[in-house]
């Protein structure tokens, strides 16, 4: 059984999908959810599934405390699912090729510092793009620049607002993120 740990800062709808997807799997399971935000909805969602949680400060993230805590859970894959802080280099170095992120746009468009969540969908909508989508990628020391693992596009021609774009993209995330994680763990993609 391979251990998945999830970092999330917000509502945690992706985290919940991933937890549920692996509930009855014999391959992997979510063993820990971590958040920098004590008010994040993801914490209640994890607890509802009896997944242990950890809330940490920025200082704890960057001082080795979070890395030490993680090591006790022996993660095979570290998943950022709406995690909005810069991910520390020491954890990336300790788990090479094992830290992945989901981004709600077709990178390299609409990536980088400050480009997250609603900001992304607003920019896509304002530019009048006909499609958006999701990118799942490895995490390196620069925001949204690690190697791409998976992308999927969706037409947003009918979307009248950034919120409608967001909804379409979130649906794609929920559909594909758990499966891509499973394929990575099974070595079907890399």
Tell me how crowded residue 88 is: count the other CB atoms within 10 A of its CB.
Answer: 17
Residues making contact with ligand GAR (CB under 6 A)? 8, 10-15, 81-82, 102-104, 116-117, 120, 170, 173
Q: Confirm if 180 and 148 have CB atoms less than 8 A apart.
A: no
Query: What backbone torsions phi and psi does residue 147 show, to the nearest 5 degrees?
Result: -55, 140
- What H or E segment, with its residue span, contains residue 53? strand 53-55
Residue number with the shortest CB distance to ligand GAR?
82
Q: Which is nearer to ligand GAR, 103 or 168 (CB)?
A: 103
Q: What DSSP designation does 140 have?
A: -
Q: How far is the CB of 134 from ligand GAR (least distance, A)?
A: 7
- Say whether 103 is catalytic: yes
Query: What backbone torsions phi and psi does residue 152 show, to the nearest 5 degrees?
Result: -145, 130
Selected catalytic residue, list 76, 103, 119, 137: 103
Q: How far is the CB of 182 from ligand GAR (least distance, A)?
A: 17
Q: Among candidates 158, 153, 184, which has minimal Cα distance to 171?
A: 153
Q: Which is nearer to ligand GAR, 15 or 159 (CB)?
A: 15
Q: Which is nearer to ligand GAR, 9 or 68 (CB)?
A: 9
Q: Which is nearer to ligand GAR, 41 or 75 (CB)?
A: 41
Q: How far is the CB of 184 from ligand GAR (least distance, A)?
A: 17
Q: How far is the CB of 35 from ligand GAR (least distance, A)?
A: 10
CA distance 9 to 120: 16
Q: Confirm if 153 and 131 have CB atoms less than 8 A apart.
A: yes
Q: Confirm if 102 and 169 have CB atoms less than 8 A apart.
A: no
The residues annotated with a catalytic role in the active site are 103
């Amino acid at each position: 059984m391979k251990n998945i740990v999830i970092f999330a800062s917000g509502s945690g709808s992706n985290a919940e999908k991933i937890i549920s997807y692996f509930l009855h799997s014999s391959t992997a399971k979510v063993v820990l959810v971590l958040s920098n935000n004590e008010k994040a909805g993801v914490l209640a969602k994890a607890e509802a599934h009896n997944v242990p949680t950890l809330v940490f400060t920025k200082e704890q993230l960057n001082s080795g405390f979070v890395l030490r805590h993680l090591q006790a859970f022996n993660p095979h894959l570290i998943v950022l699912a709406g995690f909005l802080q810069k991910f520390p280099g020491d954890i990336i170095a300790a788990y090479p090729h094992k830290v992945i992120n989901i981004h709600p746009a077709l990178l390299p468009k609409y990536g980088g510092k400050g480009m997250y969540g609603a900001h992304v969908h607003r920019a896509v909508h304002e530019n009048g793009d006909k499609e958006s989508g999701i990118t799942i990628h490895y995490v390196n020391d620069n925001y949204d620049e690690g190697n791409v693992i998976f992308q999927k596009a969706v037409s947003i021609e009918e979307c009248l607002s950034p919120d409608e774009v967001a909804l379409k993209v979130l649906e794609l995330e929920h559909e594909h993120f758990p499966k891509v994680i499973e394929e990575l763990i099974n070595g079907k993609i890399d």
